[in-house]
């Protein structure tokens, strides 16, 4: 009978690929560009509510992410432990 093989472990991803801050920054810059375009180009005035909503949701998401990260680093009981090392 053949011996069972040990499972192959995938290598860990580098920290630069695990950090969500670059993607958050890119998303915020895109919404900022959309808002600037919506308020400066007259034909895009119908985009204004969507651009403002996108900026608001992005700002709230950034606030929530940084709040959770700081709580995880403080060792708060209800914080997400995954965010501590980022």
The arithmetic mean of pLDDT across residues 17-29, rounded, is 85
Listed ranges 12-21, 26-35, 46-55, 71-80; the one with the highest mean pLDDT = 46-55
Q: What is the pTM of this model?
A: 0.67
Q: What is the DSSP string of 24-80?
A: HHHHHHHHHHHHHHHHH-GGGGGGHHHHHHHHHHHHHHHHHHHHHHHHHHHT-TTS-
Statement: residue 35 has pLDDT above 90: yes
- pLDDT tens digits for range 38-83: 999 999 999 999 999 999 988 888 888 888 888 888 887 777 666 6
The pLDDT value given to residue 82: 63
């Amino acid at each position: 009978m053949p011996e069972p093989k040990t499972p192959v472990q995938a290598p860990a991803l580098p920290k630069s690929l695990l950090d969500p801050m670059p993607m958050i920054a890119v998303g915020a810059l895109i919404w900022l560009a959309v808002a600037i375009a919506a308020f400066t180009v007259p034909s895009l005035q119908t985009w204004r509510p969507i651009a403002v909503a996108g900026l608001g949701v992005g700002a709230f998401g950034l606030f929530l992410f940084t709040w959770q990260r700081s709580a995880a680093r403080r060792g708060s009981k209800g914080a997400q432990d995954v965010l501590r090392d980022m």
